[in-house]
Amino acid sequence: MDKKLKKRKWLKWLLGTLGVLLAVAIIGLIYVNAYIGKSKPVINGELDVSILDEDVTVVRDDIGVPHIEAQSDADLYRAQGYVVAQDRLFQMDLSRRQASGRLAEAVGAAALDTDKFFRTFSLRDAAEKSWEGYDEESKQVLEWFAEGVNAFIDEAKEEDTLSYEFSLLGYEPEEWTPVDSLAIGKFMAYDLGGNWSSLAVRHWALGEFPEAKAKELFIEYPEDAPSIIEANINSQVKVAGEFDASVVPNEFNGSNNWVVSGDKTESGMPILSDDPHLGLSTPSIWYQMHLQSPEQNVSGVIFAGVPGIILGHNEDVAWGVTNVGPDVQDLYIETPHPDDPTQFRYEGEWEQAEVREEPIKVKDGETVDFEVVVTRHGPIISDLLYEEEDPEALFSMQWTALEPTLELQAVLGFNKASNWEDFETALEDFQAPAQNFVFAATDGTIAYKANGRIPIRKTGDGQLPVPGDSADYGWEGYVPFNELPTVVNPESGFIATANNEVVDESYEYHITDFWAQPYRYKRIAEVLEASDELTPEDMMELQMDKKNLYADEFLADMIDTVRAESDEYDEALALLANWDQFDHADQAAPLVFHKWMKQLPHTLLEDSFPEDVYDLMPGKNHITDAMMRDSFAGNDGTWVSEYGGVGKWLTDALETSLTEIEDEFGGDPEDWNWGEYHELTFPHPLAGASPIFESILNPDPVPLGGSNITVQAAAFDKEGNVDHGAAWRFVADLSDLSSAYHIVGPGLSGHMKSDFFHNQVDKWAEGNYHETPIDGSAEGSTLTLKAE
């Protein structure tokens, strides 16, 4: 046969085969697209919802914010449950599963250790105990909300329109319960209220290092409690070797908030601003909505799965929070009975602990028997760190959030408050996590309260684990509500918090010694003090402020120290010396500075710690900042001296940082760029399963300014991914509360086919706010939920 003919036939066959494969691929894509699309939330027209007493209107505006108008609170909360489930049911299900230690049922054995962790931390158990304490009105709201969620679940199952994630993982969601909502609230208390890991690391350090060396790893060393120090040295609990610290909350969980009085604004009325800092993800941890009935008219954000509006405003008041970060978790060194590991010594006697059987179901695997042992102080948690046979000492944990608490009851009170007295009354029920609330009202009042249960200890100040076998240690109540830090209408004309220290030495009670670095607060105060004509636009601009006061404190001394040590880094040091100390995305200096600061604890400390203990240790830069301050004052401590002095330490850390930068961006500083390293990501929980999922579920990375210490909060991981910051930003002008300004990144819908999935990514990065009205003027896609 002619070679050309053979070639033509081969090409014809190849093209035909490729055509068939392409056609199959196109058909497959069409099918997949159609399959995914059928679960897209319905936002226009009418839907029959049998649980409603009367019709409810849902208007989703141009950014995707649902405005729900109902004729009663009963229908309002039912509709809220239904609408949130439309957009976020998969996220809601994962949240309740994580809080309850039931992820392995859905995703398999890979989640087993995570489930053991959260079963041990007892969030679900605490939620169940809390339910009993709620008043009948709050219980009814939780039940109404659950009715709405379940109406959507039943409808989606019947019509085969459950979100595609459930099909990918091969399961269907169970009925929603009121305790599921409370469990999600307990998870947020976990995310915002932990100091147990600090205690475990300090305990390990006292057993590993000479006391003088261990002392430098403390924020404040408890020299007035020698019995506690002795107990930590002599009764060592095994800590190092096995723990996966990825379940520990991000140490940058925090926030900014501030409120200014009418004396400092152009309008003569207060302005309130809030931007809580949590993990950045797709979908957002926050869900924005507007709820209206004859009984209330309130707008703001919730956690998907929780009724009401947690943060926001109504027609009379606005409020926001930051994390106080008090020491609300204590570890106790427990002595188990040598023959019965469920008994522990207390006051010379053996005391029986509670044993909860917690079998963990595993998808495609056998159920794993698991038990949680609970002493008089709380659950035994040291088995999570290191499991050993016949231990002589174990850790139990006491924690405010494991007691019955009433946060949802407080939230419902906030929503209907009309003045500070109403709001402060509601605050009594907000017990865990402790939060810095700022408040403003249309009567001109501005106020602040550091609110929540803060323990009063018999002995010690929460810096170290304490002996569990003695009644001399433990808690003897909480800081009285009327003695919590409170400010109303200060002469300064403003109140601001940024997880900074909120009390001085004259305050009677211990809150914590581990406050956030002060740089965000100082910058906020600097800007607010400078003007008496502040506007909402000024507040939005301040929320996006990139001024780096961390560099302002340390950089000059760091540059001088390295120049005295070496003449090899003149170009990089000149770059830093000429920097304006704003963390702009298009500059090289922020890249060098932040890489250098992040490297300092690694260079000095990392080799002296087991990997899991080092990962567990929070506040590494707090520790090395204190060491630098001492060294710059001429007092090298033990760690710095043993390393070879502050000059060698800083120079070695700079060298490592520059090497990493050059490996990634080349040797020319003209090519270095903060934004190319520091990129916004909003990762989806399923994106890690494959590059395909990553490409369709995550937004494209966005170069970003700011950092973990600027007001525009943008904390980043070791690869430079911005994974933590103000997922919601909020500004309310009390001269006109018919609307307020919001951004929720990356968007409001959890469905990849929705127009509201990633529609706020660029807005979030650039600071373009959306004005959300509550006066009935919202326009957009209209859905009527029809009562049958």
Binding-site annotation: residue ranges for Ca(2+): 327, 330
- 122 included as an active-site residue: no
Contact between residue 625 and residue 219 where contact means Cβ atoms under 8 Å apart: no
498 neighbors 254 (Cβ within 8 angstroms) = yes
Phi, psi of 340 (to 5 degrees): -145, 100
Residue 269's nearest CA partner among 128, 7, 446, 476 is: 446
Q: Choosing from 122, 235, 255, 657, which is the catalytic residue?
A: 255
Question: What are the tokens at 67?
Answer: 């405005």
Q: d(Cα 253, Cα 13) in Å, to the nearest integer? A: 60
Phi and psi (nearest 5°) for 61? Answer: -75, -170
What whole-number distance in Å separates Cα of residue 633 and Cα of residue 384?
Answer: 41
Length of the chain: 788
Q: How far does Cα 358 stand from its chain's mean position? A: 27
- Quick one: tokens of 653? 């850390």
Angle at 743 between CA 737 and CA 748, to 5 degrees: 110
Can you tell me whether residue 372 is helix, strand or coil? strand
Q: How far apart are CA 133 and CA 65, in angstroms?
A: 33
Binding residues: 327, 330
Rg (CA), the chain: 28
Backbone phi and psi for residue 548, each to the nearest 5 degrees, phi listed first:
-105, 95
Task: Give the integer Cα–Cα distance in Å for 24 and 12.
Answer: 18
Is the four-CA dihedral 528, 531, 535, 537 of positive or negative sign?
Answer: negative
How far the first Cα of the chain sits from its last, in Å, is 76
What is the DSSP code (8-state) at residue 701? P
Q: Is the backbone of residue 515 left (phi > 0), alpha (psi -120 to 50) or beta?
A: beta
CA–CA separation, 629 and 554 (whole Å): 8
Instruction: Kindly list the catalytic residues.
Output: 255
